[in-house]
Amino acid sequence: MSPWPRSAPTAAHRASFADAIPRSFWLDEEHGGIERPTPEPALVGDVTADLCIVGGGFTGLWAALHAKRDDPTRDVVLVEGETCGFGGSGRNGGFCVASLTHGLPNGLARFPEELATLERLGLENHADLCADVERLGIDCELEHTGEMDVILDPTTGTDELEEHAELLRAHGHEVQVLDREAARAQLHSPVVQGAVWDRTGASLVHPGKLALGLRRAALDAGVRIHEHTRAEDLRETPDGVEVLCAQGRVRARRVVLGTNAFAPIVRELRRYIVPVYDYVLMTEPLTPEQRASIGWEGRQGIGDDANQFHYYRLTADDRILWGGYDAVYRFGGPVAARHDESDETFGRLAQHFVTAFPQLEGVRFSHRWGGAIDTCSRFSVFFGTTHGGKVAYAAGYTGLGVAATRFGGRVALDLVDGRDTEATRLRYVREKPTPFPPEPLRSVGIAITRNRMAAEDRSGKRGLWLRTLDRLGLGFDS
C-alpha cells in the first residue's frame, strides 16, 4: 500500500526543479567537487594492442586495471565513445553494494545452489574495491553506512522483516530490524513504517570521483585511452579482432566489451538487454536546521520495499539525492541524450519527495538527470563470448553495478583469456538470462508488467501476470 499521492504534481512541485542544472551532479565541476580532465585524444589511424576494451565506465576501467595488474607489460587500449564516466557510472546513486545477484531473495530464486559462493565472492569483491580505492589513492567519499530497506506498507508485520533479516544473517550479514518507531528515529519521515538495516557490504560513494579516479589509475598503469572514439564494428581476424572506429582501428588479440545499455556492437546482446531510464533529483545543500529536521544521523543509503521504489542518500555536503520510482522503457529501446530528462518523472519525484519529507517543503533541486539502465530478466550481470572466444562482454547489471562492475570486468577478462577460475565455473557465469521478445511484443509486455507492478504496490496483492512471470523466470526491475 503506497503512500504516494495519485494526484498530478502541482505548479510548486514543478517549480522546485525548474532551474535545476540538467546533468549529473557527480560530473559537475562547479558543484560536484570534481576536476574534469582534458579528454584523451580520439583514435586516428591504426594501432595494435594485446587487449582492447570498449567502454570507459566502471566495467571497462576495472577490466583495464585488472589486466595491467595481472601483467604490467600487457598492451591495453581502451576506447570510449564520449568521455570516461559518461554512462551509468557517472550518473548513478552511488550505492556501492556487495550483492552480485541484486539482493539475496533474487539470488535465492535464481541461483540457490550457488548463492553462498556468490555472496562470498560479492563480499570479497566489495572489500577489494574498498582496498583498491585506498591503494590507488582515489578520494571518492566512500562511507560505510550500510543500507536501510524502508517499509512503506503499514500492514507489513515485523515477522516479515525478521524473515528477511534472517536470510541476510544466514549469509553473515550484520542486520538490525527496526519497528516503526525505531525506523522513524533513524529517518524522520511519515512514510516510514519499519526498516531493515543491513550493515554489511553496503557503502556510499561519489561515483563521478570513482570513475575519474579509475581513469587516472588506468592511465598511470599505462593504459592508452582514446575518448570520443566510438567502436562501430568488430571483425575477426586469424590472430585477433579488429575494433573498427570512425577514424581508426584497433587490431587487438582480445577484446572486452563494457558498453552497458548503449546500442551493443554485438548483436546477441540486444536479445537480453532492455535500456530502462531511471531519473534522479539532487537538492541544494540543506541548511543545518533542515538537516537536523530529518534525523538520518546514520547517513544510510535508503531504498524502499515497493516494486516502484525510491532510493535516496545524503552527499558529503548534505544534499539529498532522490531517485527511482518510474522506470521508463521506450519503444525500440533508444538510448540518446534527449531522454536524459523527463519532466513528467521529475514532477512525480518532486511530489514524492515532499510527501516523504514534508518538513523540507520549499527546498529546491539543483540538479536533475537521467540515465539508461541495462535491464535483463535475471536482474544481475551476465557474460558471454563471441568471435571465436576472442571477445567477451559483461552486461545486465540492472541498476546495481557500482560494485558488481569490478567483478564483471574481472570475469569478462578471465573469459577472454581462457582462464579457469572459481567464478568462471559458476552456472551464474555460464548461463544467459531468458531473452526478451522482439518489438512490438517487448513494449507491450513491459507496459503490462509495469502496470501490474504499480497495482501490486497499491493493493499489496501480486496478480496472475506477475506470478506467471515469476514462474517463467522473467521480470522487470530498474
Ligand X SMILES: Cc1cc2nc3c(=O)[nH]c(=O)nc-3n(C[C@H](O)[C@H](O)[C@H](O)COP(=O)(O)OP(=O)(O)OC[C@H]3O[C@@H](n4cnc5c(N)ncnc54)[C@H](O)[C@@H]3O)c2cc1C
- What residues make contact with ligand X under the rule CB under 6 A? 54-60, 79-82, 86-89, 91-95, 97, 230-231, 258-260, 262, 265, 278, 280, 323, 371, 373, 397, 399-402, 405
Q: Which three cell numbers stand for residue 61?
A: 576501467
- Closest contact distance (angstroms) between CB of 59 and ligand X is 4
**Choice between 95 and 111, CB closer to ligand X:** 95
**Choice between 215 and 452, CB closer to ligand X:** 215
The answer to whether the peptide bond before residue 440 is cis (omega within 30 degrees of 0) is: yes
Query: Residue 232 burial by CB count (10 A; 0-12/13-18/19+): exposed, middle or buried?
Result: exposed
**Choice between 54 and 306, CB closer to ligand X:** 54
**Choice between 264 and 466, CB closer to ligand X:** 264
- Closest contact distance (angstroms) between CB of 289 and ligand X is 28
- Closest contact distance (angstroms) between CB of 477 and ligand X is 12
Give the Cα separation of 180 and 136 in Å (integer). Answer: 42
Nearest alpha carbon to residue 372 among 265, 450, 214, 478: 478
Query: Residue 42 burial by CB count (10 A; 0-12/13-18/19+): exposed, middle or buried?
Result: middle
Give the Cα separation of 87 and 215 in Å (integer). Answer: 14
- Closest contact distance (angstroms) between CB of 478 and ligand X is 8
**Choice between 87 and 333, CB closer to ligand X:** 87
- Closest contact distance (angstroms) between CB of 468 and ligand X is 28
DSSP letter string, 320-363 = EEEEES--B--TT----GGGS--HHHHHHHHHHHHHH-GGGTTP
Give the Cα separation of 43 and 40 in Å (integer). Answer: 9
**Choice between 382 and 397, CB closer to ligand X:** 397
- Closest contact distance (angstroms) between CB of 394 and ligand X is 7
Q: Which three cell numbers stand for residue 421?
A: 577460475
- Closest contact distance (angstroms) between CB of 471 and ligand X is 27
Nearest alpha carbon to residue 115 among 194, 171, 180: 171
**Choice between 197 and 452, CB closer to ligand X:** 197
The torsion of the CA quartet 202, 141, 34, 21, rounded to 10 degrees, works out to 60
